[in-house]
Amino acid sequence: MKVIKKIERLNKTKGRIENPAIEFIIIPSEGGEEIFGIGKAEIKKPAVFYIKANFTEPEFEVGDTLDVIVKKVDEFGNESSFADSTDFEVGIVEGCDIGNILKPDGEEGQYFLSMKMPIKFIVADSLETDSTKVILRVGIESTDDTTYLPYSEFLQNNKMTEKANSQKTKSNKNDGASFAEDDITFQSCSIQDFMTDAIDTPEAELVEIIEIMLGETKYFGLQMKGEGTSAEYKICEVETEYGNAPVFPEDADGWIWQKTKTVWGDDPAEVVDEGGASGVYWEKKYPLFNGKSFKKMENLNDGLIRVIGRYWEEGKEANYKVKLTANDGAHYKTIIVKVVKPNDLLSDDESISYKWAKDIRNDDLNIDDFLIENGGKHGILPQLLKGQIFQEAIRENDKFWPSYRYEPWQDIRFRNQKNQDNVEYYLKQPYWVDANGMGLESGGEPVPIEHQNIRPILNYSTSTPYPNNPMKIGEYVSDNWAQYYVGSSSSLNRKFSKHPLYGPNEVQVIWNYLSKYYGKRDNKTDAIFQSEYFVKQFLKDNYIEFAQTRKASSYGYFQMLYTTAITGKFKYPRRLGNSPAPEKLSDHEIAKEYVMNHLLQNVNIKLRGKNESYSDNDWTDGFEKIWLESYRLYNGADDYAESIIRNSKKFSPKL
């Protein structure tokens, strides 16, 4: 039987033929009369969608795996997903030498006639090419039910708003608008002819990676070449010696430095990996030094930014990568900043590295690696830590040694502070030294005798590295006289620590009087002997309390006070009854957490006054100024904080 159809009337509604009247003639297959009739049938026009493909990230690094997301878009711009069973034709248009397409079954190549999602692009682990961009061509065949068209046609039919254009420029994401079908020479990467006409062309660009050492400072600016849509941009380092003012180099070869306040915006750094943390601190200030001494913080010239490598951990480098973005108001340029481990902490103009230390187990300790590891973990510049050790620890034979120091004036201050609760707490056992012994009551541990290399070698009759017998304050200071003044032992000009109770330093007053008196009467050697004799006798006669050589002492490379360790925010622990022996703070592996956290606590105290925190950037007072003030909380002695910043300049990070 043969059917002849003739459409009499079409009612079109949104591309679909609804209930048309159809005249049809039926002719029997083996002769007979024609049968005429009128009937109705519904004929559906194929649905129309545009294929849209994007890389999930517009930028990539060496070794990355890029995901391609493919969507179908209706005429109103509504996006929906393809079924997992959908076949796509995928090939590389540009960037053939950068990597390969990866199929779900693990096969790699530069062209596949048919592959299902997920569609991935594998960037090579190393690149020897000038190519910086990857462009794919993703296509799909139309079916009887669905017609697919290139996404570029959708964009041509639906002009993007200025807002969308602005967002597109900022993110560098490709929505398929960059390439019309005629612009693409597919054979650039494959001998295959592309079979499908419904295509989109996602693209991604290789982003420049700048390495910065933990603790290193770098300055960056933005350069532009050309104008309008053809303008090129690049972020470049502005080199200068640490402590000096960075200055823009001259414009050259058509590249012009962008010297405006808005180049770096208010938030130029973005963590690359979700769940990661910023490995850098940035600010729009720089530290000005006078020689090796820190002078003040100054504002950078417009268009410059300072970046400091602040966090680094072995095996977690990717967690701390940061995307640094500059702009000229309309166009954006991005680099990735990656913090790397320095090999040494030593400035070029220094000859003694102090790279090694002896520890309490008589092992050699690579102090640089120790400080890099722990400073990088806590976000403290390792050269600051080394500058502090240089100030605090005993140095012999170009090495640091774990050090011990009883603090007599702190001992007296603790006993006489106004807060009686604190006084009672200080007087409690364990570790309170009295006529009965070294404070072993209430579960106190004995003075360890196994610690080695404790410096200085103290002047008392004992076989232990720490005081192991009760002594009076004046007696101890007299017997270990050289620890408590500054100046040469062969000089009458000496400086003594100020007594915290009486304001003017009575020891200094007595010494000044005696040294002048005997200095006029006797030769220098006799004058020194007589002055020392009478000052020591004064101490023995007037400071007769038992010296708290366990509680009121500082230990280790950082000279942390035991009282600081047990009463700070990060406890040693706080309850005396279950505290380990104070002397165990000489062990760098035990002391490190208390030291690092105490330093950060002091920094945050200073920042809270500005409604800022350590995780913030561009601190109001500037990086070095905040650290200077925080070290004054650690030790309020004259020039102590300044000496740490000054010492840190000796130990700049080096590869």
**DSSP string for residues in 145-200:** SEEEEEHHHHHHHSPPPHHHHHHHHHH----S-S--GGG--GGGT-SSPP--SEEE
How far apart CA 315 and CA 61 sit, in angstroms, is 17
Distance of alpha carbon 255 from its chain centroid, rounded?
A: 31
- Domain boundary among the residues 317, 340, 363 is at 340
Residue 179 and residue 219 share a domain? no
What pLDDT does residue 420 have?
A: 85
Looking at the structure, do residues 122 and 214 belong to the same domain, yes or no?
no
Cis omega (within 30 of 0) on the bond before 430? Answer: yes
- The rounded distance, in Å, linking the Cα atoms of 637 and 391 is 12
CA distance 594 to 572: 7
pLDDT of amino acid 387: 97
Q: Given CA atoms 183, 185, 186, 192 in this order, what sign does their dihedral have?
A: positive
Question: Please, which residues bridge with residue 294 across strands?
Answer: 289
Are 214 and 325 in a shared domain?
Answer: yes
Quick one: 194 and 217 in the same domain? no
Task: Output 430-436 pairs: Cβ under 8 A, ≥24 positions apart.
Answer: 430/576, 430/577, 430/579, 431/548, 431/550, 431/551, 431/562, 431/576, 431/579, 431/581, 431/582, 432/548, 432/551, 433/470, 433/546, 433/547, 433/548, 433/549, 433/550, 433/551, 434/470, 434/546, 435/470, 435/546
pLDDT for 13 equals 36
Final residue in a domain of this structure, among 340, 366, 387: 340
Residue 22 is assigned to a structural domain of this protein: yes
Contact 218, 237 (CB under 8 A): yes
| Residues 188 and 95 occupy one common structural domain | yes
Place of tokens 């532009």: 224
Non-local CB neighbours of 608 within 8 Å, separated by 6+ positions: none
DSSP run (H or E) holding 234: strand 232-237
Instruction: Check whether residue 291 and residue 145 sit in a common domain.
Output: no
Q: What is the pLDDT of residue 164?
A: 43
Residues with pLDDT less than 50, the chain: 1-21, 160-187, 460-461, 501-502, 573-576
CA atoms within 13 A on the CB side of 280: 31
Q: Which of 629, 610, 623 is nearest to 309 (CA)?
A: 623
590 occurs within a structural domain: no
Angle, helices 506-521/524-542, rounded to nearest 10 degrees:
150
Residue 153 lies in a domain: yes
User: Tokens standing for 252?
Assistant: 């050259």
Judgement on whether residues 151 and 195 belong to the same structural domain of the protein: yes
pTM, full prediction: 0.77
- Judgement on whether residues 149 and 212 belong to the same structural domain of the protein: no
Task: Look at residues 319, 298, 320, 318 and name the one whose alpha carbon lies nearest to residue 308.
Answer: 320
Domain annotation covers residue 163 = yes
Q: Tell me, yes or no, whether 116 and 226 share the same domain.
A: no
Q: Which of 177, 206, 235 is the last residue of a domain?
A: 206
Question: What are the distances in angstroms from CA 453 to CA 345, 360, 393, 554?
Answer: 23, 6, 12, 15
The residues pairing with 605 across neighbouring beta strands, listed in sequence order, are none
Could you give the number of structural domains in the chain? 3
- The rounded distance, in Å, linking the Cα atoms of 136 and 89 is 10
Backbone angles phi, psi at 28, to 5 degrees: -55, 150
Which pLDDT does position 178 carry in this prediction? 38
Task: Please report whether residue 639 resides in a domain.
Answer: no
- 3-state secondary structure (DSSP) of residue 621: coil
- Show Cβ contacts of residue 254 under 8 Å, excluding neighbours closer than 6 positions: 225, 226
d(CA 357, CA 393): 10
Contact between residue 449 and residue 581 where contact means Cβ atoms under 8 Å apart = no
- With 0-12 / 13-18 / 19 or more C-beta atoms within 10 angstroms meaning exposed / middle / buried, residue 597 is middle
- pLDDT of 206 reads 86
- Quick one: 182 and 88 in the same domain? yes
What percentage of the chain carries pLDDT values higher than 90? 62
Contacts of 341 (CB under 8 A, 6+ apart): 213, 214, 312, 314, 372, 376
Q: What residue numbers bound the domain in which 241 lies? A: 208-340
Q: Are residues 121 and 132 in the same domain?
A: yes
Do 194 and 265 belong together in one domain? no
